[in-house]
């Protein structure tokens, strides 16, 4: 026995209409369940998941709206992407640590100087001799303070600057013409010349 809907008295047509309505109800319930499951995989907030499920109770329209405004990726994909980004950043940091800051040549953690550009990479510990990073304040191997590393570096830089200044002064003196040097020696101070001429005049008289 079938229910007569829309005033249809024909049993065959009425059966088809009843089956069609039944299928629509089944599809609607399936869409509600699908919306709930999909929202759980895409949304981390339980309140938003409940709102999306409630919106899908409006037949077909709620599910269509949810499909339009839902997040574009699953939570698992987002977490995997974040892990891949962190892993890539870690690899970049390792490459920076394993390469010279000055020329980018690959180096080993035990190198004190870059074999390519001779840039100072690390300073040996005064106690155990292990290589120390310039940013470290204490040796992690023997706990010796590394506070003298920075002043020593500054002294080395000052010594290099002084050497460069002396070389530049010597080069400038070497480039000065010989005539100017002879003229400076011959002229001398005016008082010295006058005193010498007066002594010669007194000896002559």
Arithmetic mean of pLDDT over the chain: 76
Mean pLDDT of the region 122-129: 79
At residue 43, the pLDDT reads: 92
When pLDDT is averaged across residues 131-138 and rounded to a whole number, the result is 79
- Is the pLDDT reported for residue 97 higher than 50? yes
> Percentage of residues in the chain with pLDDT exceeding 90?
26
pLDDT band (50, 70, 90) for residue 1 = very low
Is residue 99 helix, strand or coil? strand
Residue 202 pLDDT: 57
- Between 187 and 33, the more confident residue is 33
Q: What is the pTM of this model?
A: 0.45
The region of weakest confidence among 15-24, 100-109, 181-190, 194-203 is 181-190
Dihedral over Cα of 7, 9, 11, 16: its sign: negative
pLDDT above 80 (res 40): yes
In this prediction, residues 35-41 reach a mean pLDDT of 93
Q: How many Cα atoms sit within 13 Å of 170 on the Cβ side?
A: 6
User: What's the mean pLDDT in 142-164?
Assistant: 61
Per-residue confidence at 157, pLDDT binned at 50, 70, 90? low
DSSP line for 78-142: HHHHHHHHHHHHHHHHHHHHTB-TTT--B--TT-SB-TTT--B--EE-TTT--EE-TT-SB-TTT
- DSSP-assigned letter for residue 106: B
- The per-residue pLDDT for 125 is 81
């Amino acid at each position: 026995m079938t229910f007569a809907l829309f005033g249809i008295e024909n049993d065959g047509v009425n059966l088809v209409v009843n089956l069609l309505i039944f299928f629509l109800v089944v599809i609607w319930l399936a869409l509600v369940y699908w919306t709930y499951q999909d929202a759980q995989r895409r949304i981390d907030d339980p309140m938003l998941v409940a709102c999306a499920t409630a919106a899908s109770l409006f037949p077909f329209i709620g599910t269509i709206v949810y499909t339009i405004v839902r997040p574009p990726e699953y939570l698992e994909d987002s977490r995997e992407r974040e892990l891949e980004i962190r892993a890539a950043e870690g690899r970049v940091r390792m490459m920076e640590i394993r390469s010279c800051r000055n020329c980018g040549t690959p180096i080993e953690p035990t190198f004190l100087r870059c074999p390519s550009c001779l840039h100072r990479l690390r300073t040996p510990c005064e106690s155990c001799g292990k290589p120390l990073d310039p940013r470290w304040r204490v040796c992690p191997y023997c706990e010796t303070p590394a506070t003298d590393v920075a002043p020593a570096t500054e002294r080395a830089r000052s010594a290099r600057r002084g050497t460069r200044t002396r070389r530049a002064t010597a080069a400038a003196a070497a480039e000065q013409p010989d005539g100017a040097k002879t003229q400076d020696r011959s002229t001398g101070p005016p008082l010295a010349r006058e005193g010498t001429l007066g002594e010669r005049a007194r000896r002559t008289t």
